[in-house]
Structure 1
Amino acid sequence: MRVPRISGTRYAAVGVVLATAGALALPAGTAVAAPAADPTTGPVMSYVVNTKANHGQVQKVEKAITGLGGTVVQSYEQVGVVVARSNDTKFAEKLRLAKGVDSVGASRTKGIQASDQGKADVAAEPAAAAAPGQEPYDAYQWDMRQIGADKAHKISLGSRNVTVGVLDSGIDATHEDLAANVDASQSVSCIDGKTNTDWKAWQPTTSDHGTHVAGTIGAAKNGKGIVGVAPNVKLAAVKVVDDGGFIYPENAVCGFVWAGEHGFKVTNNSYFVDPWMFNCKTDKDQAAISDAVRKAVAFSQRKGVLNVAAAGNENLDLAHKTVDVASPDDTTPASRPVTNDCLSLPTELPGVVAVSAVGSEGVKAYYSSYGKGVVSVTAPGGDRRFQLPDTPDKDGRILSTIPGGKYGYMQGTSMATPHVAGVVALLASTFPWASPDELTEMLTSHAESVPCPKGEFNPGGAGAWKATCEGTTNDNGFYGAGLVNAEKAVQWWR
């Protein structure tokens, strides 16, 4: 989940931290040789194993796993993915020879490690009392006005029949602005690739990120802080981020299958799947990871889920990939050449809505990745360096909920993505019959076109954030089809 490299967090957000048994008797003087190390024994690793999506085939693969001394963690028969563990360094090599196994891949290069998490700056108290009908922090929410959410709320706040799955670090279900909308019956932890519905399991532990994302999507309109894009829809916490800040493939597979099985209309994915920024077909492990996540995403789509994902914060042109300098992110990253066949997951999978970020002036945020044919739409993600809004705090980032009943600022494509998920939730509320493809068509057709910047795009002038925009006014690499529009999403007659 290491997006961006700007601040060292693993999210598509840029935040700031504030806030013995008896021995055999031998004659005296006898030399005892040290036992030879087993060259095939190493640390316990996790694997994704792909097979056909049926009960009998999955059972055969499970037997092959245990026959090799491995452990089955969880099987997803719906998609033909088995999560396994083994300390045999040759486990994947051996299992690939088993009948019925399509592919096997180590889902990490090292055990889970503790690391810095995405933390938000705590917001100051509102400068003035809220006007009647407004939230206390309304004046600070330039992002909601930018996409017309304030106007949309005069028509609709969204439907309670729509659930948005927040695949992230958990949601603080006790927060005053979220408690009414978080649906515990649909929330789950997917840590280690298996489900746990215990309430504590899906609460945030080390990160503000998921709670911040959730507030942007669906903070209630209750006069107690901020308001989300779709303040009346339900939110489901799907915790896929471990305490080290990683989203490993098995966690993501679990999350997408859960979303499909539980009738979500949309999921928010403000991350990329660890440990590889880009997964290449030429690598057996990465190919297996791609297969597993792709099947899970496709399953959710067949079940009626539209998945929205962040483009990333590296200012990379995803349509012209050349090098990956950040993988694997759970051990020691090294530079390697990549091509467009190497995919960022889940952002570049078919049917996924990929989101870039703009600042308060409606221009691409300096950090936002982009790419013609990759980015679907854009939304406010914040830009504290080059685009400052006319708000009481003059802070260019996004204000939202954070754990402990507080509010805080973060920026990134992580923050842009929930604006889009919220607009999709409004569309699904207005058009409950719409399929994922139909929702995508409405989302893009209602977006406000944003042309490529005139001249060179070079924020700050030093070249650190230089980028090239390709395409037309209605479809380009910086903004896709354009800036999402919440007002149009609730107007059925348009």
Structure 2
Amino acid sequence: MSLRSNRRLRAVVLAAATGLTLAGLAVSTPGATAAPGGVSADGPPSTPVPISTPDGVVSAYVLNAKHANPGQTRLVERAVRQAGGVIVQTWPEIGVVVAHSDRASFRDRVRQLGGNAVESVGATRTVPVTEGTPAGVAAPWGPGKGQLRKEAPRRDTDSAGSEQTVAVAPDPRESEQWDMQMIKADQAHAITDGSRKVVVGVLDSGIDPDHPDLAANIDVADSVNCSNAGRPDTSPTGWYPTTSDHGTHVAGTIGAARNGTGIVGVAPGVRMASVKVVNDAGFIYPEYAVCGFMWAGEHGMDVTNNSYYVDPFEFYCEDQPDQYAAKEAVRRAVAWSTDQGVVHAAAAGNSSYDLANKTTDTGSPDDGTPVERTLNNGCQDIPTELPGVVTVSSLERFPTTGLENRLSGFSNRGLGVIDVAAPGSRILSTIVNGNGYGLKSGTSMASPHVAGVLALMKSVHPGWTPAQMVAKLRAQADDHACGTTTAGAPCVGPETDNSYYGEGVLDALDAVS
């Protein structure tokens, strides 16, 4: 995977690169209609980035019904068919329809035919649909890896139903995990390793199905592939990693088993579902993310980790019609899954960017030809800036021989945007190649620490709602003053809540005490 792709997945990979190079198609077209709400109230209009959808080329769209109910959704579906589109997936719970069409006029026609039922419609990528065509890319670690191991047996519980932690010898490389010591996960494990009843959805590139530190903790029944045009693909191997081991590394930080092998995750006793939202070219399109969040909510997951931003825009602007529709679809999916009891952690990003004061973006759209564009604060990095999502910045160990810390130079920041900070530089975790272990850096590596702590918290407080968990997570974080300023925007705000560390450094021990 190229550096751009790793950046999209919020990681600067220090392990060996896979060598996949992204290829994009440059497109442009004049004209764009106003998005719902018109010009953003958060600053001057953002620079338009029209998406071309020429006749004869299959393009992907999301459509949002004005009201999220089955009746309105059926009206949108009818308009899609009448406008020359094909329905790929429908989510009536949130009034979202995913469609493909090879008609240049599809967006205008579906608005006309759908009338008041269609709140918004937008193209989700600047390149033609490729799902269903051969990827032509071989996984760097070779062909299939054999049968899945059986799920580990449930632990015994006491009469009150709480987990009994069994004392075991440290795993061989646990002493190298400075990150677990920094967030006091090693101390939290004296109270609980997490409950087998708790499931973390790893929305990423797939989890290695037979890694010895992961296989026993994979929730196979709830794993799915959402990168097939945004449809849930439940085939037995669909959720396996193909061209990236990013999700495998993330999963190890969350829940590598305490089994005498390798490392130990933040919550080694919980289960993880592989929710694959990354296609073989390394892209996470809006319909993939919608599928992932909806799947997590439908299947009763407790936590999701989201170490990515939704392609092809690093920032989705409210005053651009295509971007608005895509953002609204993802927002609805996040909100609905939260209502089902799922709490979400997400990486803040690796652009050394001040998310509270956006100005320009030069890297979007990343699946075609990027343009330099002006932003306003109605432009957001999704899903990390959506309501209710825990936004996580990255820490590095400084000096490298101790447990002092400071913001990683690559980490995004932002006063009132960052919730908590967690270790994200040179994190040791599981990788696919050789069922081994490697170092990666990025806010991608910080976010799974938070997801793991949320899983521990849910284990000891099973009745807590997502809002309660987020509030407690923030309150229990260790205050961190601005201290040394790193590259990018200077740190602003008090020790109790600033632009670098938010409410402070993640504290696993307080979360379970």
Fold match, TM over 0.5? yes
Distance 1:132 1:248 in 2: 43
1:15–1:119 contact (8 Å) kept in structure 2 = no
* Corresponding residue number in structure 2 for 1:177: 213
Deviation at 1:429, TM superposition (A): 0.6
Q: 2:237 corresponds to which residue?
A: 200
Q: Which residue of the partner structure matches residue 408 of structure 1?
A: 438
Q: What is the DSSP-based 3-state SS (H/G/I as helix, E as strand, rest coil) of the residue aligned with 1:357?
A: strand
Does the alignment pair 1:471 with 2:502? no
1:370 to 413, 423, 436: 413
**In structure 2, which of residues 93, 111, 121 is the aligned counterpart of residue 104 of structure 1?**
121
Structure 1 residue 139, shift from structure 2 partner: 2.0
Contact 2:183 2:505 in 1 (8 A): yes
CA contact (8 A) 1:149 1:229 kept: yes
- The count of residues paired between Structure 1 and Structure 2 equals 438
Instruction: Name the SS of the counterpart of 2:444 in structure 1.
Output: helix
Shift, 1:281, TM fit: 1.3
Report the secondary structure of 1:471's partner residue: coil
TM-score by length of 1: 0.85
**2:442 pairs with 1:399:** no
- Using the TM superposition, give the Cα deviation of residue 18 of structure 1 relative to its aligned residue in structure 2, in angstroms: 4.9
- The alpha-carbon deviation at position 488 of structure 1 amounts to 1.3
Give the Å deviation of 1:303: 0.5
Deviations 1:257-282 (A, max 9, x none): 11111111110000000011111111
Structure 2: how far apart are the matches of 1:238 and 1:47?
21
Q: How far, CA to CA, are the matches of 2:328 and 2:137 in structure 1?
A: 29
* Matching residue within 454, 457, 467 for 1:424: 454
Describe the SS at the equivalent of 1:369: coil
- Tell me, which stretches of 5 or more residues in structure 2 are unaligned? 19-52, 142-166, 399-404
For 1:349, give the aligned amino acid.
L
| Aligned residues: CA RMSD | 2.2
Shift in Å, 1:111: 3.0
Shift of residue 314 of structure 1? 0.3
Q: Assess, with a 3 A threshold, how the Cα gap between structure 1 residues 8 and 432 changes in structure 2: closer, same or farther.
A: closer
Q: Percent identity?
A: 51
- 3-state secondary structure, aligned to 1:359: strand
Match of 1:64 in 2: 79
2:465 maps to 1:443 = no
Alignment pair present for 1:230 and 2:297: no
Answer whether contact 2:139 2:242 (CA < 8 A) is retained.
no
Task: Tell me what 2:509 maps to.
Answer: 487
SS of the equivalent of 1:88 reads coil
Take 1:214 and 1:118, find their aligned partners in 2: how far apart are those partners?
Answer: 19
3-state secondary structure, aligned to 2:265: coil
Asked if the contact 1:215–1:228 (Cα under 8 Å) also holds between the matched residues in 2, the reply is yes
Structure-2 change in CA distance of 1:89 and 1:185 (3 Å): same
Give per-residue Cα distances to partners, 1:290-344, cap 9 Å, x unaligned.
1100100000110011111110000000000000111000001111000111011
Tell me, yes or no, if structure 1 residue 334 matches structure 2 residue 371. Answer: yes
Structure 1 residues 117 and 272, CA, compared in 2 at 3 Å: closer, same or farther?
A: farther
Within 5 Å, give how 1:290-305 maps onto structure 2: 290-305=327-342
Aligned position for 2:89: 74
Alignment-derived partner of residue 27 in structure 1:
none
Asked if 1:323 corresponds to 2:347, the answer is no
Question: Using the alignment, how far apart are the partners of 1:369 and 1:489 within structure 2?
Answer: 25
Q: Secondary structure at the match of 1:199?
A: coil
Work out the CA distance in 1 between the residues paired with 2:137 and 2:126.
Answer: 19
Does the 8 Å contact 1:9/1:116 carry over to 2?
Answer: no
- Corresponding letter in the other structure for 1:484: L
Give how far 1:466 is off: 3.4
- Residue number among 276, 300, 305 corresponding to 2:313 in the alignment: 276
The letter for the 2-side match of 1:472 is P
Q: Per the alignment, do residues 41 and 301 of structure 1 end up closer, same or farther by CA in structure 2, a change over 3 Å counting?
A: same
Q: Which moved more, 1:57-66 or 1:368-377?
A: 57-66
Q: Does the residue aligned with 1:165 lie in a helix, a strand or coil?
A: strand
Distance 1:340-1:40 versus aligned 2 partners, 3 A rule: closer
* Contact persistence 1:105–1:288 (CA under 8 A): yes
Is the 2:7–2:350 contact (alpha carbons within 8 Å) kept by the matching residues of 1?
Answer: no
Query: 2:62 corresponds to which residue?
Result: 48
Give, in whole Å, the separation in 1 of the partners of 2:336 and 2:239: 23
